Amino acid sequence: EKQAEDNNSTECSEPGTMDLKFTSSRKYISISVPSKSQAMSPHIKSVDDVVVLGMNLSKFSKPAQFFICVSGVFMFYLIYGYLQELIFSVEGFKPFGWYLTLVQFGFYSIFGLIELQLIQDKRRRIPGKTYMIIAFLTVGTMGLSNTSLGYLNYPTQVIFKCCKLIPVMIGGVFIQGKRYNIVDVSAALCMSLGLIWFTLADSTVAPNFNLTGVILISLALCADAVIGNVQEKAMKLHNGSNSEMVLYSYSIGFVYILFGLTCTSGLSPAVTFCSKHPVQTYGYAFLFSLTGYFGISFVLALIKIFGALLAVT
C-alpha cells in the first residue's frame, strides 16, 4: 500500500490536467498532457479580457465599454480624416495613394510591436493563414480608399462610406451565418440614406463622381464587407488581442504593398517626391498613422465585444 501511494504521488507531480475519480475501494488517476499548441502560459489573460491601448475594459460595464470605445473612435477618426485630406491637398501627391498606405502600414506595424512588447500577453493565437487573408483585405480596403482620394474629393468618399453598413450586413450573412430581421435591414437602409442626404446637404464642396474613383471606393467597400466579419470571427474564436491583430495583419500587408509597388515601379517616384516634402508627407503621415492606430484599436474592441455590424454603425 505504501508503494502504491508513492507511485500515485509521483504521477500527481507530473504536469497535466488531472481528473480524479473516486470509488468505494480505489482511487483512479488519469493524466492528460496538453499538446504544445494548447499549452497556456501562466500570464495568458482571461477570455473576457479586452485591452485597448493598455486599458483593460473588462472591469467596466457593457454600457461603459460602449461609451469608451465609441468616444475613442469619434475622437481619433475625426483627426484621422482631417489629416488624410490634408496630405492629399499637397500639390502633386495624389498619384501616391498606395505609397501613403505603405507608410501607414509600416507605422502601424511599429506601433503594434511596441504595444505588444509593453503588455504581458505576447503569444500569437490567430493562425497565420487567417492573418494573410485579413492582411490582403486590409490592403484592399485602405489602399483603394486612399487611392480613391486621388480621383474623388472627400465629401464624395464619405457618401460611399455611409453605405458601409449594407455590405457588412451582407458579409455577416455569408461569412458568419448571421440572420437579420426586417427591422435590422430597414434600420441599415434608413441610416445609410440619411447619412448620404446629410452629407450632400451639409457639404460646402460639390461631390465629384469620377468613374475611376467610384470603382476604387466601391471595391474598398466590398473588402470592408468581408474584413470586419473575418476579424470578428477570428478574434472571438481564438481570443486574439487587438495589438496582435494590428501587428500581424498590417506587417503582412506591408510586405504585400511593398512587393506590388516594387513590381509596378511605383516606389521610386513616390520616395523622390516625399523626400522633397518630408514634413508635409512623412510628418503628416506619422500623425495620420498614429491617430489611425488608436482609432483601429477602439474599432477592434467594438468588434470583439459587440460585433462587426454595431462597430460599423
Q: What is the pLDDT of residues 2-32, one digit of tens each?
A: 555 555 555 544 444 444 444 445 555 444 4
| Parts of the chain with a pLDDT under 50 | 12-24, 29-47
Q: What is the model's pLDDT at position 70?
A: 92
The rounded distance, in Å, linking the Cα atoms of 205 and 200 is 9
The separation between CA 133 and the C-alpha centre of its own chain, rounded to angstroms, equals 12
Q: What is the model's pLDDT at position 46?
A: 40
Q: What is the model's pLDDT at position 2?
A: 56
Q: What is the model's pLDDT at position 286?
A: 95
Helix (H, G, I), strand (E, B) or coil at 56: strand
The rounded distance, in Å, linking the Cα atoms of 155 and 206 is 8
Q: What is the model's pLDDT at position 71?
A: 93
CA-wise closest residue to 284 among 130, 133, 93: 93
